Amino acid sequence: MSDVVDRATRSRMMSNIRGKDTKPELLLRKFLHARGYRFRLHRKDLPGAPDLVLPRHSLVIFVNGCFWHRHTGCFYASTPSTRREFWQDKFSANVERDCRNHENLMYLGWRVLVVWECGFKHCSERLSDIPVLIESVNQYQEWPAAPPRTC
């Protein structure tokens, strides 16, 4: 199947995909701030420049898009039908980089929480789970723990 837009339009559309201040990230920041959590944004001195850093809790939070970071079992982690090899290489590099960054952060004494985009779309009523995850002692956690069934 060919693309429904021309190359220039697709290029413009893809260049507008943001890496910072995404809608899920802003929702999480607003939620946490309203509950008294204070954090730093995108600390470049940490591996992977985490989206949120809560120094008091020794916690870093990554807000990941299911498509780009390949949320296992998620409906949104589909692969485009054109240029499959290019996309598979890109996605596997993203996943490898994420794993490497998480391991490096845990080695440095940080706990890692990965918040998936689909959670905001289908589990927003369960946002109250996040403070529980922040207060826990687990080294690595994901929210939601499994992709929602509505995907």
Q: Helix, strand, or coil here: 3?
A: coil
Looking at CATH, the fold of the domain delimited by 20-143 is given as Endonuclease; Chain A (3.40.960)
- Tell me what the pLDDT averaged over the chain comes to: 91
Residue bearing the bigger pLDDT, 100 or 17: 100
| Encoded tokens for 130 | 């996040």
How much is the average pLDDT of 10-23?
Answer: 75
Q: pLDDT of 23-73, one tens digit each?
A: 999 999 999 999 999 999 999 999 999 999 999 999 999 999 999 999 999
pLDDT value of position 18: 66
pLDDT tens digits, 77-87 = 999 888 899 99
Question: Helix, strand, coil shares of the chain as percentages rounded to 5?
Answer: 45, 15, 40
Q: Is cis: bond before 131, omega within 30 of 0? A: no
* Range in 94-103, 123-132, 134-143 with the lowest mean pLDDT: 123-132
Is the previous residue joined to 55 through a cis bond, with omega within 30 degrees of 0?
Answer: no
pLDDT attached to residue 126: 86
Q: What is the separation of C-alpha 38 from the centre of its chain, rounded to a whole number of angstroms?
A: 19
Task: Give the range among 9-13, 81-85, 100-104, 115-119 with minimum mean pLDDT.
Answer: 9-13
pLDDT score for 135: 95
The predicted model gives 95-112 an average pLDDT of 98
